[in-house]
A and B are shown apart, each in its own frame.
Chain A
Amino acid sequence: MAGVQVANVSRSFGAHKALDDVSIDFPDGGFYALLGPSGSGKTTLLRQIAGFDFPDTGRIAIGGESVERVPVEKRRIGMVFQNYALFPNMSVADNVAFGLSVRGEPKGTIATEVQRALDLVQLGKLGGRRPHQLSGGQRQRVALARAIVTKPRVLLLDEPLGALDKALRVDMQIELKRIQREIGITTIFVTHDQEEALTMSDRIGILRDGRLVQEGPPEEIYDKPQSEFAATFLGDANIFRGDATGNGIRLPDGTTIAAGSGPSLAAGAKASCAVRPERIQISTGAGTSEAGYANTLRGQVSKRIFAGNNSTYFVDRDGQTLKVIVQNTGAERLAEGQEVILRWSPESTVLIAA
């Protein structure tokens, strides 16, 4: 096992900068998600770490050893591809055995290791099958077994759950996490699915246009986004734009919003505030608010979407539509068109430099 260090890595394809001075420290034994929209460079970064492509500049180290010019077959990595990439001309067992057999391991060792890997992914009895006889989820497991049987230093996953349907994807998320914990392997996971990134990883790196926007534990990024992009890409957020006041912002109409965290900005500088929809309290104004909910806005419900365990209210306020998510606690539901008061605490508000 080993951590991975990416330092100042840049990679261009023609005039297009796919990676622009990206530095990330992937901790040993951690589960790290690279999250970003398509074209953000996350797959390019994974391919640099794998060794399918070399960076123009910068350094990549696995377990402290510089590998940026080492070809993929010498890097001792394990990779799971989006389309699984199982060899169709081989049985499941031969697929898993491939990495050991090209290394020239004795037949007996290979057989034991392959069985152990297949047992780990709960496919112990399907070694004789051909890939085309398996379901999508089973192929996924074979691909995983094949990638880890060689005891790689790093496990790289390229949107491995993208081709699975929703229910199976949730199962596989749990399964993948269990296997990763069990063997304790450093894992780097590329995804564009923010929920997947939040539920599975210890750390998340958000990429956009080839740059690292923000990185850290999921809770930290979710609670303290440092940019509007990070706030809206990972989860939902209401964004207010105005001028910095010292401890918050002043909206164009004069309303002030207090923020509990964020950088200290000079008064008058352009800034925004982000608030998560579930942190906002919505009421008709008749009720009194809890203490500390200092930020208050008036608006009108334009739409309500009922989703069983919660409801989403869209509230129009001064040309802006705000989103509020309310848990279904049995309390009275608000009707569309109703005048409402929105309240939330400064602690739920993050100041973001424009």
Chain B
Amino acid sequence: MAEQLATGSRRALRPALPLLLPAYLWLTVAIFLPLSAMVFFSFMTDLPLAGKEWAFTLGNYAAFFSQSLYSKLLFASLRLGLEVTLWCVVIGYPAAYVLAKVLKGRSREAIFLLVILPFWSNGLVRIFSWAMVLREGGILDTTLNAVLPSKINIDLMYSYPAVIIGLVHSYVPYMVLTCYLTLQAIDDSLIEAGRSLGASRLQVLKRVIIPLSMPGLIAGAALIFVPVVGSFMEPRILGGRTGTFYGTVIEDQFVAVFNWPLGAALSFILLAVVLVILGLAAPVLRRAG
């Protein structure tokens, strides 16, 4: 039976190959080759450019373990990723719920557009806009002081909260979209059935809606956590001196120090750590669902 299935799928594969080929070709050229080059770089002493001498070494990886700075920064980045993901859940899930279950027709379309709009603007522009809002004498400061009777000073610029705000704003649409898709697939009659059985709205949310929308929450969390851990733009611009994270260090190696081998090695360590975390978290989260 199993053999039959195997030959069956193999037979089905052959006519599918021409269709699959462009995708795999693209993946090879766009992802596999550059990544392979980076793996190669990460084991070199120097870049083989301008006739410089180079040799193979494990030193770049050793550097991560010999200097506690890197692991400290990695830990800070993981914490940042976790915090941003949590905020995205807290903000994005209710928004997705309202979009999927409360709003109907036109108003749903309008709010949906507002959620997606940040996606269509340039990331850098978005971050600098936040800088204008958050700095002393900026939009937030001015507005609050215009409203409040007593004078307060609000200068969130170059702080950890500013980094969080910028990142949450950039990534919350992912959570809204993934959760929206799973929430929308939940039949309203399930909610009604729960309530007809005597469950309060909160009990229905806890025991029916959240478990059923867990795939969306997990997908959203993975989509947010991974890039946030490696993020460098928001920490650098909004965080200033406090915004030194693992991602900014990697960026420095490529852009400022030109130590590509170390940057590559640090990147692959990050990749490995993130994969391990996702691997460990997946079964736990799936069981919770």
Contacts and interface: CB of A to CB of B under 8 A. Distances in A.
A312 to B, nearest CB: 39
A89 B206 CA distance: 12
A182 interface: no
A157 B289 CA distance: 30
A87 B200 contact: no
Contacts of B194: 87, 98, 102
B211 A89 contact: yes
B198 A76 contact: yes
A146 interface: yes
Greatest chain B CB density within 10 A among A89, A99, A147 is at A89
Contacts of A89: 208, 211-212, 289
A87 B199 CA distance: 13
A99 B192 contact: no
B219 interface: no
Contacts of A79: 192-193, 196
Nearest to A89: B211
B190 A73 contact: no
B197 interface: yes
A92 interface: no
Nearest to A82: B189
B203 interface: yes
A73 B189 contact: no
Interface residues of A, number: 26
Interface string B165-207: 0000000000000000000000101101111111110010001
Given A83-B187, A85-B187, A89-B208, A103 B193 contact: no
B289 A85 contact: no
Interface in B198-247: 198-200, 203, 207-208, 211-212
Contacts of A78: 196-197
B211 A73 contact: no
B192 A72 contact: yes
A99 B197 contact: yes
Given A88-B212, A89-B211, A89-B289, A146 B192 contact: no
A9 interface: no
A306 interface: no
Nearest to B197: A99
A150 interface: yes
Contact of A99 (B198, B200, B208, B289): B198
B199 A102 contact: yes
Interface in A47-93: 50, 52, 71-74, 76-79, 81-83, 85-89
A62 B196 CA distance: 15
A13 to B, nearest CB: 13
A206 to B, nearest CB: 25
B189 to A, nearest CB: 4
Contacts of A82: 189
A102 B208 contact: no
Contact of A85 (B190, B198, B199, B207): B190
A87 B208 contact: yes
Interface in B16-33: none
A99 B208 CA distance: 12
A146 B197 contact: yes
Contacts of B190: 85, 87
A82 B188 CA distance: 12
Contacts of A146: 193, 197
Given A76-B198, A82-B189, 10 more contacts: A71-B195, A72-B192, A73-B195, A74-B198, A79-B192, A79-B193, A85-B193, A89-B211, A98-B207, A102-B200
Interface of B: 187, 189-190, 192-200, 203, 207-208, 211-212, 289
18 contacts: A72-B195, A73-B199, A76-B198, A78-B196, A79-B193, A81-B189, A83-B187, A83-B189, A85-B187, A87-B193, A98-B194, A98-B199, A99-B198, A102-B198, A102-B200, A103-B198, A146-B197, A147-B196
Q: Report, nearest first, the 5 A-B pairs whose CB atoms are least far apart.
A: A99-B197, A85-B193, A85-B189, A79-B196, A102-B199
